[in-house]
Structure 1
Amino acid sequence: MPKINITWYKGRTYEQKQKVAKAITNSLVEIVECKPEAVEIIFQDVDKKDCARAGVMQE
Structure 2
Amino acid sequence: MLGIAAAVLFFIAFLINAADVATNEVFASVNVMLLGLGLLALHVAGIGTGWSRRR
Name the one with the larger helix percent: 2
Q: TM-score, normalised by structure 1?
A: 0.37
Name the one with the larger strand percent: 1
